[in-house]
Amino acid sequence: MKNFKKISIIFFIIVFSFLVNMNFVFADDLPSEKVEGVLIRAINWLAGILATVAVLMVLGGGVVWVTAGGEEERVKTARKWLTAGLIGLAVSLAAVIIVNVVLGLFRP
């Protein structure tokens, strides 16, 4: 039963993450976009996914910490989750900042 709950939660997270950013196409022409624009959108998209996973890890770590009940091993696990989540948030934020700064230097 625990595996079913985990699988269903992961399934709904994946499904709803695709629904959040769904765009409808009404027979528009293909955009004539440079490679630079495609790369920026791809990096921003990946940074958004990384930030979402990091926030979920921070939330999960908080839940594990609160429900640890004084068990030292669970508190250590929660600290690892919180640390990994915060590092993930920092990396995703740094990726977006670095891309915008570098592209700002090369734009006229």
CB 85 within 8 A of CB 54: yes
Query: What pLDDT score does 1 carry?
Result: 64
* pLDDT of the chain, 108 residues: tens digit per residue: 677 778 788 877 877 776 666 566 565 565 666 777 778 888 888 888 999 999 999 999 999 999 998 899 999 999 999 999 999 999 999 988 988 888 878 776
Full-model pTM: 0.63
Query: What pLDDT score does 63 carry?
Result: 92
Say which residue the tokens 């409808």 belong to: 24
CB 66 within 8 A of CB 60: no
Q: Give the start-to-end residue ranges of the domains of the chain.
A: 34-108
Query: What pLDDT score does 84 carry?
Result: 94
How many other CB atoms are found less than 10 A from the CB of residue 64? Answer: 19
